[in-house]
Structure 1
Amino acid sequence: MNSARPVPEEAVMDKPHGVLDRHFQRAQVRRVDSARPFVWLRRGWADMRDNLAASLSYGLLFAAAGSFILGYATGLPHLFTAAISGFFLVGPVAAAGLYEISRRHDNGEPASFIDSLRGLSTHADHLLYFGAFLAFVLLGWERLSAILFASFYPEDASGLGSFFLDVFLTGASASFVVWYLVIGGAIAALVFALSAVSVPMLMDRDTDVVTAMVASARAVGINFGPMALWALIIVVLITIGFATMAGMILLLPLLGHASWHAYKDLVE
């Protein structure tokens, strides 16, 4: 596996031109090889190992949030599925502190939990704007989820046991599963494209939210194969984290640090 940093390709670099570009210069994007996500994981693990106390502090916060979500939504399948899937949507902003730890670590600066919080405060405006966007998407997805339950799952959905029995064992709600996955998957893909590298970019440089989102979408489009693999890795690891809860303490910080290195590889 080649772990050298990808070399920028002229074909995927944007040259500033015109009045508009003087205000909104698009970031230059690199093309990476298909196995690059595994390099990001390895580098993320190194960051977590070198900043273990700070990283695990965020892991504990994620695990507490996950436990609250599961406890609150248990017995309410509509809220349960929306909350679990919504966790994927807000993850990029939730991991901002981990990006700050990796940024400081790369620059040889102190990277304690308190230091990362100070770093977050310096980017509070941009994070607030991006967080508001994700919150709007999350609320919209919760409403869509309610509509899908009402339209395609008219059975008694008062408990998770009966819900999972119907969905995964009896096959009685196949149309519900198909529509839920199609619509939810489309929303998740859009959010992933716009957020894959945008929050680390906002933490790293003086730029605006729209420019960061455009850069993220271009990075995903130019590197569709590697980023599809990266999205799959994120889904699998977060699912394992929710299934084990204790695993979330390790796996979510790992993904946060690895996402920082994804950004550093993808955006010039």
Structure 2
Amino acid sequence: MPDQEPLETHRNPPASPDAQVPPPSPGSGPGPRREIVPLSFADPLRWLARGWRDMGSAMGIALFYGFCFWGMALSLSTVFLHLPVYTMSLVSGCLLVGPFLAMGLYDVSRQREQGRTTDLANSLTCWDRHIGSMGLLVLVLLLLELLWGRASLVVFAVFFTTGMPSTAGVLQAVFNPENWAFVAVYAAVGGVFAGLVFATSVVSIPMILDRDTDAISASITSLQVFFGNLPVMLFWGALITVLVVLAFIPWGLGLLVIGPWLGHASWHAYRGSVRWLD
């Protein structure tokens, strides 16, 4: 990580005794400044490489979280087989729970970065010191999840006026060339909400863990990182999507490795895209 630049200090002449000093505004005191780092297309590959090293250094912890991700995948498969119309709602729920579950992996990477011994117990409770900020961020992402689920149901209702399809009906609709309009609209709606969830959470959760930042500031920073480096962040999102899809073959067992790997890599995505000037 590049050396941090010292902040410039500005000294004002002392005010006269008769001068009125305005009351300090909230948050106006001195504090660390953050800087959005310009990214290149090589950076996501570096994040993956560093995440792989972190995972290898604490493989036992990684496997624990990997089994958690695998359990989520099995739940997703069960819902698709029995209640396919709610699959997208559960996918959004997994996208909501996944980053918070990965917070323990962020903590392991942070411990390793600071030269400390990695510990599973600490990673499982790292969120309790940031419960206020995390709770507010949960509400924001939960709102996006509910809107996503509702929009998915509306799309199904518009294209399947005779009733919600079964699992076989969904598969037939997806692979039937005559239903290209349904597939296109469904993918577009899902893509918009997936992009919003990704843009809001791409660095916000590791930032809260690292700096105990409030949820609003963390979300704004995450959006700035996403839109300020849009091509690279879309590439990063595409890499995540491809790896997750590959992890589901066969039976989702790939999540045992790919899930923790992406968790560690996401910590380095935050560290590589946000620089703090203390």
Amino acid at match of 1:108: G
Matched, 1:141 2:148: yes
From 224, 244, 264, the counterpart of 1:238: 244
Flag the structure with larger Rg.
Answer: 2
Matched, 1:202 2:208: yes
Matched, 1:128 2:130: no
Matched, 1:107 2:108: no
Q: What's the CA shift for 1:243?
A: 3.9
The answer on whether the counterparts of 1:194 and 1:217 sit within 8 Å (CA) in structure 2 is yes
From 248, 265, 268, the counterpart of 1:258: 265
Query: 1:58-110 CA distances to partner (integer Å, 9 max, x unpaired)?
Result: 11011112212221342322112332354234432231111111111111223
Higher helix share: 1
Partner-residue secondary structure (3-state), 2:82: coil
Q: What's the CA shift for 1:162?
A: 2.8
Q: Equivalent residue for 1:15?
A: none
Q: Please give the alpha-carbon distance, in whole angstroms, between the structure 2 residues aligned to 1:87 and 1:206.
A: 24
The answer on whether the counterparts of 2:37 and 2:273 sit within 8 Å (CA) in structure 1 is yes
Amino acid at match of 2:145: L
Q: Please give the alpha-carbon distance, in whole angstroms, between the structure 2 residues aligned to 1:85 and 1:124.
A: 22
Q: What's the CA shift for 1:196?
A: 0.6
The answer on whether the counterparts of 1:74 and 1:160 sit within 8 Å (CA) in structure 2 is yes
Equivalent positions of 1:27-42 (< 5 A) are: 27-42=34-49
Equivalent positions of 1:167-186 (< 5 A) are: 167-168=174-175, 170-186=176-192
Q: What's the CA shift for 1:242?
A: 3.1
Q: Please give the alpha-carbon distance, in whole angstroms, between the structure 2 residues aligned to 1:206 and 1:80.
A: 34
Amino acid at match of 1:224: L
Q: Please give the alpha-carbon distance, in whole angstroms, between the structure 1 residues aligned to 2:232 and 2:98.
A: 20
Q: Equivalent residue for 1:228?
A: 234
From 189, 192, 195, the counterpart of 1:189: 195
Percent identity reads 33
Q: Please give the alpha-carbon distance, in whole angstroms, between the structure 2 residues aligned to 1:7 and 1:182.
A: 42
Equivalent positions of 1:18-57 (< 5 A) are: 22=28, 27-57=34-64
Q: What's the CA shift for 1:229?
A: 0.6
In structure 2, do the counterparts of structure 1 residues 6 and 223 end up closer, same or farther at CA, with 3 Å as the change threshold?
A: farther
The answer on whether the counterparts of 1:193 and 1:216 sit within 8 Å (CA) in structure 2 is yes
The answer on whether the counterparts of 2:72 and 2:94 sit within 8 Å (CA) in structure 1 is no
Query: 1:107-141 CA distances to partner (integer Å, 9 max, x unpaired)?
Result: 12232211212322222222222122212211221
Amino acid at match of 1:59: G
In structure 2, do the counterparts of structure 1 residues 6 and 156 end up closer, same or farther at CA, with 3 Å as the change threshold?
A: farther
Q: Equivalent residue for 2:159?
A: 152
Q: What's the CA shift for 1:259?
A: 0.4
In structure 2, do the counterparts of structure 1 residues 152 and 8 end up closer, same or farther at CA, with 3 Å as the change threshold?
A: farther
Q: Please give the alpha-carbon distance, in whole angstroms, between the structure 2 residues aligned to 1:99 and 1:33.
A: 22
Amino acid at match of 2:138: G
TM-score between the two structures when normalised by the length of structure 1: 0.86
Matched, 1:91 2:108: no
The answer on whether the counterparts of 1:82 and 1:142 sit within 8 Å (CA) in structure 2 is yes
Amino acid at match of 1:120: W
